[in-house]
Amino acid sequence: MDSIELSQIRCYGYTGLLPEEQVLGQWFEVDLTLWLDLHKASASDVIDDTLDYRQAIAQVKEIIKTEKFALVERLAGAIADRLLTLEKVQHVRVRLSKPAAPIPDFGGRITIDITRPTRQEA
């Protein structure tokens, strides 16, 4: 199956378990893989035959900026659910990273990685 990969979508949002995370916010980074049939677009060179990935990027940023969840798992799920509503998308993989989690003595990143099929395939 064909796919489009979008990486390092960076956006400031307000998801987190701690109250200050939902007030002060923090940066999130998202990598996406969107599976869809690119056969027609690869022959036609017409944007309507593929997914305009600017739309996917805008959807990710809107969710991160406007939604508040306690868990990053829920945020990743909300992003996957929204992207699966885009026409032509058959499967989606969302890798959501929290590069500066407020955990004492932890300088790494937390990444949630989920893959979802469209509802018809689930």
> What was the pLDDT predicted at 101?
86
Phi-psi region of 96 (alpha: psi -120 to 50; beta: other; left: phi over 0): beta
User: Does 14 or 103 have the greater pLDDT score?
Assistant: 14
Q: Is residue 82 part of a domain?
A: yes
Q: Is residue 44 part of a domain?
A: yes
Q: Is residue 75 part of a domain?
A: yes
Q: Judge whether residue 60 has pLDDT over 90.
A: yes
Instruction: Kindly give, in sequence order, each residue whose CB lies less than 8 Å from that of residue 106, ignoring residues fewer than 6 positions away.
Output: none
> What was the pLDDT predicted at 100?
87
Q: Is residue 109 part of a domain?
A: yes
CB 83 within 8 A of CB 62: no
Q: Is residue 66 part of a domain?
A: yes
- Determine the 3-state secondary structure of 86 from DSSP: coil
- Tell me what percent of the residues of the chain surpass a pLDDT of 70: 97
The whole domain housing 25 covers 3-117
CA triple 28-31-35, angle to 5 deg: 145
Reference 31, options 53, 1, 2; nearest CA is 53
Which residue do the tokens 């996957």 mark? 80
Q: Judge whether residue 120 has pLDDT over 80.
A: no
Q: Is residue 98 part of a domain?
A: yes
Q: Is residue 122 part of a domain?
A: no
Q: Give the CATH number of the domain where residue 85 resides.
A: 3.30.1130.10
d(CA 65, CA 32): 17
List the catalytic residues: 98
Q: Judge whether residue 121 has pLDDT over 60.
A: no
Confidence bin at 35 (pLDDT 50/70/90): very high
Which residue do the tokens 């995370």 mark? 21
Q: How many CA atoms lie less than 13 Å away from 59 in the CB half-sphere?
A: 19
Number of structural domains the chain divides into: 1
> What was the pLDDT predicted at 41?
95
Q: Is residue 112 part of a domain?
A: yes
